[in-house]
Amino acid sequence: AQSVTQPDIHITVSEGASLELRCNYSYGATPYLFWYVQSPGQGLQLLLKYFSGDTLVQGIKGFEAEFKRSQSSFNLRKPSVHWSDAAEYFCAVGAWGGGGNKLTFGTGTQLKVEL
Partner 1 sequence: NAGVMQNPRHLVRRRGQEARLRCSPMKGHSHVYWYRQLPEEGLKFMVYLQKENIIDESGMPKERFSAEFPKEGPSILRIQQVVRGDSAAYFCASSPGRDRGPLDYGYTFGSGTRLTVV
The helix (run of H) or strand (run of E) holding residue 75 is: strand 73-78
Q: Which residue in 46, 58, 60, 61 binds partner 1 (CB under 8 A)?
A: 46
Q: Which residue in 28, 29, 40, 41 binds partner 1 (CB under 8 A)?
A: 41
If binding is defined by CB under 8 A, does position 111 make contact with partner 1? no
If binding is defined by CB under 8 A, does position 40 make contact with partner 1? no
Which residues contact residue 101 at a Cβ distance below 8 angstroms, ignoring those fewer than 6 apart?
A: 32, 94, 95
DSSP-derived secondary structure for 53-71: S-SEEE-GGG-EEEEEGGG
State the Cα–Cα distance between residues 73 and 11, nearest whole angstrom.
18
Amino acid identity of residue 21, one-letter, is: L
If binding is defined by CB under 8 A, does position 18 make contact with partner 1? no
Q: Which residue in 17, 107, 112, 114 binds partner 1 (CB under 8 A)?
A: 107
Q: Which residue in 18, 26, 42, 84 binds partner 1 (CB under 8 A)?
A: 42
Q: Which residues bind partner 1 (CB under 8 A)?
A: 4, 32, 34, 41-44, 46, 49, 51, 90, 92, 94, 96, 98-108
